Amino acid sequence: MTIFFFIGLLDDNILFDKTIPYTYLLLMKEESLLVDLIENIFGEPKNLNEYSGQISVDCPVCSYEIKGLSKTDGKGNLEINYISHVYKCWACAETHDTHGHLGKLIEQFGSKKDKKTYKLIRPDKIEKKQKEYKKLELPKEYKRFEEIHPVHVPRKEAWNYLKKRGITQEIIDKYKIGLCIEGEYAGRIIVPSFNKKGELNFFVSRSWNPRAKLKYKNPEAAKDFLIFNESLIDWKKDIYLVEGVFDSFFLDNSIALLGKYVNDNLWEKLYEKAKKDIIVCLDGDAFNDAKNIYDKLNGGALYGRVKLMKLPKDKDVCDLRGQINEYMIQEKE
Ligand SMILES: [Zn+2]
């Protein structure tokens, strides 16, 4: 009976789905209240990641105190995590102490009503929401090219596929590119990723058969935190951000985003560690996403050091074999 009592208090349509346990529903309700509260105080979020609980909004300290603007600066530099109840501004945390427990932020900028609401939601203890992943290993059928006889037909197919895409022996060695002929990843090129300690943290598998239904098949891993091949990054040199691993082969010191977004972990590392320029270089058809990354990064410690590339519509870095200098645009349009 208690369960129905609680459900009766909540009003969203999803509540009629009886497969969702009610404790989870209550948690969701609490989180959505918090999101509303944050929106109330800081306006519409620039970004919201429901999985990690991360929201980015314009920083009032940057906008009003530092820049003296009459409205917010549109940078979205203030990151709030409503699951772990913390916040940080990427631009002014250090200089203006804009970081800490969410309660402190709401105390500073919320109305009386906001503070009251937050008191009701504020947890006594914060449990970290974390997904457990199995320790990742390469597929047991993974082999390096030199381990297979060169006339073996699948090996030849894989080799020709790489040659066609401009991948040289040097690249194969540098990135430890291998292949699977049997097993779950049969017919696929394997590109492993290693963290800064040199431990495997991900791999990408790309079918070499053009008729394959699934071009990429990747393991389940914490992609939210992944920095692909962090072991190869020199933070003291220019860093290129590209979409795919095949793009990253053609630009020295590049990071494959495995998509069009910069995750929070990478964002933090770039802010803390990148000493030279960051060049955003997504596929030609993703220029808007590239502009979003540019906007997100170009502030605080990185201000003026982020550059943007606009590739031809139907081309990516791999198609162009890394010859992209002519597509540099310093300022976004
Ligand atoms: Zn700020």
Contact 283, 316 (CB under 8 A): yes
Domain residue extents for the chain: 14-121, 143-329
Gap from CA of 18 to ligand 1 centroid (Å): 43
Gap from CA of 47 to ligand 1 centroid (Å): 16
Which of the 8 DSSP states describes residue 90? T
Gap from CA of 300 to ligand 1 centroid (Å): 8
> Which helix (DSSP H) or strand (DSSP E) does residue 29 occupy?
helix 22-42
What are the tokens at 42? 């800081």
Q: What is the DSSP string of 231-277?
A: GG--TTS-EEEESSHHHHTTSTTEEE-SSS---HHHHHHHHHH--S-
Of the options 1.10.150.650, 3.30.565.10, 3.40.1360.10, 3.40.50.2300, the CATH number for the domain spanning 143-329: 3.40.1360.10
CATH code for the domain defined by 14-121: 3.90.580
Gap from CA of 122 to ligand 1 centroid (Å): 23
Beta bridge partners of 90: none
Q: What is the pLDDT of residue 138?
A: 95
Q: What pLDDT digit, counting tens, does each position of 94-118 carry?
A: 889 999 999 999 999 999 999 999 9
Q: Comparing 14-121 with 143-329, is the CATH topology the same? A: no
99-101: strand order across its sheet: 47-49, 54-57, 78-81, 86-89, 99-101
Gap from CA of 95 to ligand 1 centroid (Å): 9
Contact 218, 204 (CB under 8 A): yes
Gap from CA of 278 to ligand 1 centroid (Å): 21
Q: What is the DSSP string of 191-215?
A: EEEE-TTS-EEEEEEEES-TT-S-S
Q: What is the pLDDT of residue 222?
A: 67
Gap from CA of 299 to ligand 1 centroid (Å): 10
Kindly provide the residue ranges of all beta strands, DSSP E only, lying in 93-199, ordered along the sequence: 99-101, 143-144, 178-180, 188-194
Gap from CA of 102 to ligand 1 centroid (Å): 14
> Which helix (DSSP H) or strand (DSSP E) does residue 69 occupy?
none
Low-confidence ranges of the chain (pLDDT < 50): 1-18, 20-25
Gap from CA of 291 to ligand 1 centroid (Å): 21
CA distance 272 to 266: 10
Gap from CA of 97 to ligand 1 centroid (Å): 9
